Structure 1
Amino acid sequence: MSQQADPAVETPAGAVRGLRAEFGERYRAVPYAAAPTGAGRFAPPVPHPGWSGARDGTQPSPTAPQPARDFGGLDMIPYFGPGWMPGEEYLTVDVHTPAADGGRRPVMVFVHGGGFVTGSNRAALYDGSAFARDEVVLVTVNYRLGIPGFLDLAGAPANRGLLDVLAALGWVRETVAAFGGDPGNVTVFGQSAGATLVGALLAAPQAKGLFRRAIVQSGNGTGAFTPEQARRVTDAAAAALGVEPTAEAFAPVTDERFLEILPALAGLDLRTGTATDPLAGLSPFSLVLPVQPADGLADGPAGDVDLLIGTNTEEGRLYVVPQGGPEPAAKAAALGEVLFETGTTRMAEAHARISGGRTHRYSFGYRSTALDGRLGAAHTVELPFVFDIAGEPRLHGDTGLLGPGPAPAGLAARVHGAWVAFARTGDPGWAAYTPQRPVVEVLGG
């Protein structure tokens, strides 16, 4: 792609110089909050102090501290990105816009997945070219992960990663007009842990007025930990570090040390007398809430928000098939049900009851040919179709997410087109999901 560096945008915090891309303009590493350092890693996000001169928005930002992830015979780097790229200023967004011209285009704000411990907006799957091509402004968000983002600590606000996403949405409301977007037509969308965060936004009173629409891709509307479950993780982390379970005691500990102790948090028994482990042992981090998001939608903006929500038909295969050996199909099916399907159904039904025909549901069924055809319609397989990059060579071949064969003709156009249509109008192109008529549109099945 030929690019020349010259477009610039004036934001309230200062000017940003970006890149002219094949479709529109791209501005990278734009801060939406001050760098979270030291004790600030356990504080709410605060506004960036701003800068003088034109900030370089041509290079990607650092990423939140995170461990490496291995999915055996499957190349998941396009999903997880480059891993931890150290640097203080990682509470940033990338903006891909058709033009920073004062136009009022639909805005889509993407929240990445990664089990609350990994991921960033540097991942290749989140390329915004197709959205910019289709006259949509795409904003991709980095947020705090792992211990700084989600460990529940005395003296620190809970769910700091969620607070970061709220701050990013506040930045969008105040700033996106300068990038050619309409702050009154914002769709927040996320996948996996990012989708669970979007579900929590629907139930968060402080999210009212920040977005008009939401898309929940393979999230869990019942995926939050209870305070008791969160305490178990906190106590284990404090024991591994040899410090008290408080923000003050954690503040001097380095990010490297936080990553070193993550194995000590894996496999904790989080079952209690009143709750099962909503993440089935796959992550020691989640939101910590007194009520599950699917059961608290009336407290937030959900009733006034259009919702597109769905899952893949074989979600659990991502966690079983790449490791090799005989495939326990029953285990994969059970994981998909527990991790995604049950909570998605509960949230769809709850939203349909309060929103008056503003709920749309989908089921993504295209079966990837990866790993000798065994990966199937697993977790993450819909993403190349949502971002309309299913033809990218890195996603194909023996270890690629979509497998050795070509992607089916027309599916990316259909899925991406439905997401864009929903962002424009609230209608993805099929009937609403209601208690009386629970329509589920099958995509690629």
Structure 2
Amino acid sequence: MNERPVVVTAAGAVRGRDDGRVRAWRGIRFAEPPTGPLRWRAPVAAHPWPGVAEASRFGPAAPQRPNPSVPLAPGQPGGARMDEDCLFLNVVRPSAEPRSGGARPVMVWLHGGAYALGSSSQLVYHGDALAADGDVVLVTLNYRLGALGFLDLGAAGATATESNLALRDVLLALQWVRDNIAAFGGDPGAVTVFGQSAGAGLVTALLASPSASGLFHRAIAQSPPAGSMYGPERSGVVARRFLDLLGVRPGDDRALTSVPVEAIVEAGAAVYTEVPREHPGMLAFAPVVGDDILPEAPLGVLSDGRGMPVPLLIGTNRDEATLFRLMRSPLLPIRRPALERMFAAMREEQESEGGPAGVRLPPRERVLAAYRGAPLTRNVRIATDIAFRMPALWLAAGHASAAPTFLYRFDYAPRLLRLTGVGAAHATDLPYVWGEFGGLPRDPSFLLGGRRTAAAVSERVRARWTAFAHGGAPGDGWPAYDSERRATLVIAEEDRLVPDLDAPLRAGWGEQVLSFR
């Protein structure tokens, strides 16, 4: 059909495309360019524009160092565009009338990428299958990345800056959804925010942020690194190292706003690598704890049952850490020396004067007892659990007292990934949630077959995710998590419900919530 549907938003009209299956508006500006005096500041809502703005092409990705494992816009002539002026969002909805006859529920996606990579333009996130088959209005968006989005320069002595800029970008986008999504046929009273990896970390931050109250009504967190958020002391370490590399004094506001963005990206890439190598388990970039947007660490808030009382679907992949081992990434400590250094640092912090009252690391022998029988993969499993699985368990147990909570583990992997030891690694769930198996260029996963089974798994996953967004449970036979049964859905070739799937882990790690401050 290729019609050009026009929708009028609060800031002006936008013209998209309709291919007969979905209507899509790509590259809608929701904020003024965060450049010049706005570079280190909270985003400002987009000013009104005259006439009809074209919305048929993705906006630029946030500045970042190109990474071949994260293709930002495959097939786009000239490759992906990157620009500091990156605060754009996209809306996709089915071409057909809603099955319910009313407004459709809304799903707002936050992409992953270690808080330093990625974009809403990645092919896997185009969303046609998810929107059309799930009968939802889908919103994807860009937020500032790396140093531009997650540095707390104030912790290093800068004055003309604000913290948690990326989280503020997301909050502004959610306000845009509240105010404008009805014009696209979406229900502003039925918004599900969902994300994976860093995007899921942002979801947990939103659940702990007073500023997010009323902006969404359900949440999905896929592999959230919920323990990797830090207070001013740790944030200051990163900010000072960044400024040293940039050659800028903290009080030099003119230099901070005028230094070329390319220099910011390079200095950010350097600390992105240096910080986790010098401090295993610590990320250079992550939401900052202790400001007006995020007063407390999400892991503590949610595990106490004090998060925003909205239904939550949360889980991890069985073999998260194999991706980091395969990529030789410094982000996750897997080798024994790095793991030992991380645990030593955690023990020193948890047991130091002023540490969390009563919190002690479990004895090393008790933890290792949970990993008997797998000496060759023990470090990978430990890294998976401390970075992803245990935080997810702590969050699920706590949030279950505030709102219905559904816990899963994604185990499915095609035969080739199983044989090569990759398994259900970090991010391998994405094509199944989105139904976009073409989103991974030269994807070797199905060289030994399995595409038909994968398509069936994807259909079930998408049905569960969108059923949740429609306001129900995520599919039949999946009860909410509680402290007695601890029901967990294992997503595999055939889904199965397992009571207390993680009992051995809980026995090894204990019930105490562990994290850096």
TM-score w.r.t. the length of structure 1 is 0.88
Q: Aligned ranges for residues 373-392 of structure 1 at < 5 Å?
A: 373-390=420-437, 392=438
User: 1:236·1:265 contact (CA, 8 Å) conserved in 2?
Assistant: yes
Secondary structure of the residue aligned to 2:401 is helix
Relative to structure 1, is the Cα distance of residues 91 and 378 closer, same or farther in structure 2, using a 3 angstrom cutoff?
Answer: same
Match for residue 132 of structure 1?
A: 131
User: 1:217·1:309 contact (CA, 8 Å) conserved in 2?
Assistant: yes
Match for residue 213 of structure 2?
A: 208
> For each residue in 1:303-338, what CA deviation from the matched residue of structure 2 results, as whole angstroms up to 9, or x when unmatched?
4201000000000011112459x9963332232122
Relative to structure 1, is the Cα distance of residues 62 and 300 closer, same or farther in structure 2, using a 3 angstrom cutoff?
Answer: farther
Q: 1:405: Cα distance to partner?
A: 2.6
Amino acid of the structure 2 residue aligned with 1:367: A
1:329 equivalent in alignment to 2:373: no
Aligned-pair identity in percent equals 38
Distance in 2 of aligned mates of 1:40 and 1:247: 15
Match for residue 262 of structure 1?
A: 268
User: 1:5·1:58 contact (CA, 8 Å) conserved in 2?
Assistant: no
Match for residue 397 of structure 2?
A: 349
Match for residue 405 of structure 1?
A: 449
> Which of 48, 51, 66 in structure 2 is aligned with 1:50?
48
Q: 1:402: Cα distance to partner?
A: 5.8
1:7 equivalent in alignment to 2:5: yes
Q: 1:153: Cα distance to partner?
A: 1.1
Relative to structure 1, is the Cα distance of residues 84 and 234 closer, same or farther in structure 2, using a 3 angstrom cutoff?
Answer: farther
Q: 1:105: Cα distance to partner?
A: 0.3
Distance in 1 of aligned mates of 2:325 and 2:127: 30
Q: 1:41: Cα distance to partner?
A: 1.7
Structure 2 spans left out of the alignment, 5+ residues: 291-295, 330-334, 336-374, 494-517
1:92 equivalent in alignment to 2:136: no
Distance in 2 of aligned mates of 1:300 and 1:109: 24
Match for residue 119 of structure 1?
A: 118
Q: Aligned ranges for residues 25-424 of structure 1 at < 5 Å?
A: 25-71=23-69, 76-77=70-71, 85-99=81-95, 103-133=102-132, 134-154=134-154, 155=159, 156-246=161-251, 248=253, 249-269=255-275, 280-281=281-282, 283-290=283-290, 291-297=296-302, 302-322=307-327, 329-355=377-403, 358-368=404-414, 369-370=416-417, 373-390=420-437, 392=438, 395=440, 399-400=443-444, 404-407=448-451, 408=453, 409-424=455-470
> For each residue in 1:228-281, what CA deviation from the matched residue of structure 2 results, as whole angstroms up to 9, or x when unmatched?
111111010111111123582421111100112234314445799xxx75xx25
Structure 1 spans left out of the alignment, 5+ residues: none
Distance in 1 of aligned mates of 2:97 and 2:14: 14
> For each residue in 1:66-98, what CA deviation from the matched residue of structure 2 results, as whole angstroms up to 9, or x when unmatched?
112245xxxx43799988623453211110012
Aligned residue pairs total: 427
Q: 1:221: Cα distance to partner?
A: 2.2
User: 2:112·2:197 contact (CA, 8 Å) conserved in 1?
Assistant: yes
Amino acid of the structure 2 residue aligned with 1:162: L
> For each residue in 1:411-431, what CA deviation from the matched residue of structure 2 results, as whole angstroms up to 9, or x when unmatched?
011101000000012410210
Distance in 1 of aligned mates of 2:318 and 2:305: 29
User: 1:221·1:294 contact (CA, 8 Å) conserved in 2?
Assistant: yes
Secondary structure of the residue aligned to 1:13 is coil
Amino acid of the structure 1 residue aligned with 2:11: A
Relative to structure 1, is the Cα distance of residues 344 and 217 closer, same or farther in structure 2, using a 3 angstrom cutoff?
Answer: same
Amino acid of the structure 1 residue aligned with 2:262: E
> For each residue in 1:108-160, what CA deviation from the matched residue of structure 2 results, as whole angstroms up to 9, or x when unmatched?
00000001111000001112112321310000010000111001112322111
> Which of 491, 501, 505 in structure 2 is aligned with 1:443?
491
Q: 1:302: Cα distance to partner?
A: 3.4
Amino acid of the structure 1 residue aligned with 2:270: A
1:425 equivalent in alignment to 2:474: no
Instruction: Single out whichever of 80-89 and 113-122 deviates more from structure 2.
Output: 80-89
User: 2:73·2:121 contact (CA, 8 Å) conserved in 1?
Assistant: no
TM-score w.r.t. the length of structure 2 is 0.77
Relative to structure 1, is the Cα distance of residues 80 and 241 closer, same or farther in structure 2, using a 3 angstrom cutoff?
Answer: farther
Relative to structure 1, is the Cα distance of residues 216 and 413 closer, same or farther in structure 2, using a 3 angstrom cutoff?
Answer: same
Amino acid of the structure 2 residue aligned with 1:153: L
Instruction: Single out whichever of 16-25 and 97-106 deviates more from structure 2.
Output: 97-106
Amino acid of the structure 2 residue aligned with 1:17: R
User: 1:64·1:145 contact (CA, 8 Å) conserved in 2?
Assistant: yes
